[in-house]
Structure 1
Amino acid sequence: MGLRERKKQATRRALQEAGIRLTLERGLENVTVEEIALEADVSTRTFFNYFATKEEALLGDVPATPDEQVRQAFVDGGPTGDFVEDLITVLITFLVSTEDLATQRADMLLRKKLTEREPQLVRGLLARFHNVEVELAGAIAERTGAGPDDDRPQLLAAAGMAVMRHTMKRLHYSESEEPADVRAKIREALRHLGEAFAPPARED
């Protein structure tokens, strides 16, 4: 990553952190875009180069969207060849950054506090989850070769995103929690769904 891109990411992060910090201190209605920009030591114009609204800045990049390499590996039948395990791998990329777990843990804890204090932000968060769900359904359709009238990709994506939201609520974001723990929680949730909706055992 070049210096220019690193500076842009640093500015974006500074705006997000400033917005969250001020909102937790004062409440969403008592914080303005101008105050967020001032707190981050940038101009209001710079703020709008990165975010359209203060709510968008507060939500940041949650949930993350799998990068093209992860998506394409899934579409191509990887990385393991087992659909459920590969779906779990994609879902984990929404939740866990293996490059900087400590920073991500801190971010998620802050946003958890933020949505608890400002529940009106949940609507925007759910809209983001929906957008990611649409992308996930498209990837599933490509992998399985499903046609436009096949509902299964949408159903699988919806189930996967529901499991992801459930997992996010269960995570503690502690230093002892590793990607393997997240994978185990997602796998367990998918297993529970399978058990709940499996056809009843036939009696001979």
Structure 2
Amino acid sequence: MPDAEPGLRERKRRATRRAIQQAALRIALEDGLGAVTVEGISRRADVSSRTFFNYFPSKEQAILGDDPRLPDDESLRTFVDGGPVGDVLADLGALLVHSARELVEERGLVAERQQVLRANPELFSRRMESMREFQGAIQAAVVRRLERDDPGFAADADALRRRAGLVSSVALAALRHAWWEWSASETGTDLVDELQRSFAELGVLVSRSLV
């Protein structure tokens, strides 16, 4: 069953978050990173500085957008406990779909952010660090799942690390594939739909290789 459409309050929250990010990116593109200030962003987004800090801890984070992260709720516990379908890659895909629902944003922001990152290597490094942290969180969740699926793994820490690292790397590749398909699409596809499609195609490839 698809998630319910967000209510008015949630739509306003997302619109404000989007306006703040867009303002930060436009200032960086037009005047350079050094010209970006919290006051300037707030003025351009038509919000108070206090409202800005309700959404982002710094001007850099407003430019970078939300860091990817795993949900800390029932969906994560379901994955660790062996669900929802019992296949680790498919279940990880479902978990990432749940996570991605909070990362959906306009394609225009993606293109502008890429321009700013290319012009400012220090910001690009911060984005790469956040992705490494995200992969680490995925790998930690997979370790817990594999230990649950096969307690024998707990006796071989190196094998467990290698298997969990492989699973997390493959999952992250599927996520990147979905992201680029979504950002390059001219037909208005949804990021969540693209992510579901990428993991479904990955599942088909894996099952064929095992035949």
- Among the aligned pairs, what percent are the same residue? 35
SS in 1 for 2:175: helix
Greater CA drift, 179-188 or 58-67: 179-188
More helix by share: 2
Check whether the contact 1:14–1:40 (CA below 8 A) recurs between aligned residues: yes
1:115 — aligned with what? 117
Query: CA separation of 1:173/1:91 partners in 2, compared to 1, >3 Å: closer, same or farther?
Result: farther
User: Contact 1:133–1:161 at 8 Å: present in 2 too?
Assistant: yes
Q: Does 1:79 align with 2:107?
A: no
Does residue 130 (structure 1) correspond to residue 132 (structure 2)? The answer is: yes
Partner AA of 2:145 in structure 1: R
CA positional deviation for 1:173: 4.0
Instruction: Look up the match of 1:19.
Output: 24
Q: Which of 139, 143, 146 lines up with 2:145 in the alignment?
A: 143
Unaligned stretches of 5+ residues in structure 1: 199-204
The match for 1:182 is 195
Partner of 2:74: 69
Counterpart residue type for residue 169 of structure 1: W
User: Deviations for 1:149-170, whole angstroms, at most 9, x for unmatched residues?
Assistant: 3312233223322442344234
| 2:87 aligned partner, one-letter code | D
> In the alignment, residue 135 of structure 1 is paired with which amino acid?
A
TM-score (norm: length of structure 2): 0.68
Q: Residues 180 and 48 from structure 1, CA distance in 2 versus in 1: closer, same or farther, beyond 3 angstroms?
A: closer
Partner of 2:93: 88
Following TM superposition, by how much is the alpha carbon of 1:79 offset from its aligned partner in structure 2, in angstroms?
2.0
Q: CA offsets per residue over residues 161-184 of structure 1, 9 Å max, x none?
A: 244234423432433435454333
The one-letter code matched in structure 1 to 2:189 is E
* Amino acid corresponding to residue 187 of structure 2 in structure 1: E
| Alignment-mate amino acid for residue 125 of structure 2 | R
Q: How many residues align?
A: 193
Work out the CA distance in 1 between the residues paired with 2:61 and 2:188: 30
Match of residue 169 from structure 1: 180
C-alpha separation in 2, matches of 1:141 and 1:30: 44
Q: What amino acid maps onto 2:139 in structure 1?
A: A
Q: Which amino acid aligns with 1:156?
A: V
Structure 2 residue runs without a partner (length 5+): 1-5, 148-152
The answer to whether residue 165 in structure 2 is matched with residue 154 in structure 1 is yes
Contact 1:33 1:53 in 2 (8 A): yes
Return the alpha-carbon distance in structure 1 between the equivalents of residues 34 and 204 of structure 2. 42
CA distance in 1: counterparts of 2:126 and 2:103, whole angstroms: 25
